[in-house]
Chains A and B, each alone.
Chain A
C-alpha cells in the first residue's frame, strides 16, 4: 500500500467519448489517525481537483477527508479527439499543489 511516486493519468478515446482515469499520489491524512508513537498525524488532504481539456475547464472536484488515500477518479468527457491535452491540477489543505497532464490516445 505504498504511495505511488507520482500522479498518474490516462485518457483514451472510446466510442466517441474520452475516458479519463486519474490516480493522484497523496496520503490523504484525515487528522484523526495516530502514528506508531501514538501522536496524531496532522490532517493533510486534497481539497480541490480541477480538470481541463485543452483550454476549457470541464470538471471541479472538491474533496473532504473521506476521499480515499491516493484519490482515484474515472469519468467521461463528451466527444474529444486524439491529441487533446487533458490537464489535472490539485491543491491540498496545506497549499501543496500538483499538475499532471496527458494527451488523449
Chain B
C-alpha cells in the first residue's frame, strides 16, 4: 500500500520536473526561432486585405512612410505589359534589415512574398511577382524594430492572376 503511494508520488514529481524544465527552456527563447521560421505564415498569405496580411505577418505596429526605401516595380517603372511576371527591385540604405514583405493591394491574396534576412544579405533584391489588375504595390521593411513602407501604383495591361 505505501509502496503504491510512493510510486504515484514519484510519477507526479517526475512529471512536474520535466514540465517545469520544458517551460523554462521555452521561456528562455531557445526553442523559438527555428520553430517559428519553419512555419509558413498561412494566416498572412491567406489574408484578403493588406491590413489583415500585415497584422498576421508583423503584428500591430506603426508604419512610417519613408523615402529610405527605394522600391521599383514594373519595367518601365509603374507599368507592366504582362501582369504574370512583373519585375520588382528593392533597395535601401537602412541597416540591420530583418524582414521585407511585398504586397499587391488588389490581388485576391495581397501578400506576395516575405523575406527574412540575416546580416549576411544585402540589397538590392530583385524578383518577379504577379499582379491581377491596376493596383498599388507595397513594400515594407522591418529594420531595428521599425517598419518602413513605400507604395507604387502599377498599371497592368494583361492581368496576371490566372
Interface residues of A (CB under 8 A from B): 17, 30, 32-33, 47-48, 53, 56-69, 71-79
Which B residues lie within 8 Å of A64 (CB)? 45, 109, 111-113
In contact, B161 and A66 (Cβ under 8 angstroms): yes
Contact of A65 among B109, B115, B117, B127 (CB under 8 A): B109
In contact, A62 and B120 (Cβ under 8 angstroms): no
What string of 1s and 0s marks CB contacts (under 8 Å) between B123-148 and chain A?
A: 11111111100000000000000000
Contact of A71 among B86, B123, B127 (CB under 8 A): B127
* Nearest CB on A from B86, distance (A): 7
In contact, B121 and A78 (Cβ under 8 angstroms): yes
- The answer to the question of B77 belonging to the interface, with a C-beta cut-off of 8 Å to chain A, is no
The verdict on A66 contacting B118 (CB below 8 Å), with A30-B161, A71-B127, A73-B126 known, is no
Which A residues lie within 8 Å of B86 (CB)? 68
A62 to B129, CA, bound (A): 13
Closest 6 CB pairs of A and B: A68-B128, A66-B112, A68-B85, A74-B126, A60-B116, A64-B45
The verdict on A69 contacting B109 (CB below 8 Å), with A32-B161, A59-B117, A62-B114 known, is no
Contact of B124 among A47, A71, A76 (CB under 8 A): A76
The verdict on A66 contacting B40 (CB below 8 Å), with A32-B161, A78-B122 known, is no
The verdict on A58 contacting B118 (CB below 8 Å), with A67-B127, A74-B125 known, is yes
Which B residues lie within 8 Å of A74 (CB)? 124-127
In contact, A66 and B111 (Cβ under 8 angstroms): yes
Closest to B160 in A: A68
In contact, A17 and B127 (Cβ under 8 angstroms): no
Which B residues lie within 8 Å of A32 (CB)? 108, 161-162
Q: Which parts of B81-117 form the interface with A (CB within 8 Å)? A: 84-86, 104, 107-117
Which A residues lie within 8 Å of B161 (CB)? 30, 32, 65-66
In contact, B127 and A66 (Cβ under 8 angstroms): no
Interface centre among B45, B107, B110, B161 (most CB of A within 10 A): B45
Contact of A76 among B104, B114, B118, B121 (CB under 8 A): B121
Kindly list 9 other residue pairs between chains A and B, CB separation below 8 angstroms, not including A32-B108, A75-B124, A76-B122. Answer: A30-B130, A30-B161, A59-B115, A63-B113, A64-B112, A67-B128, A68-B85, A71-B128, A75-B126
* Nearest CB on B from A55, distance (A): 12
In contact, B85 and A61 (Cβ under 8 angstroms): no
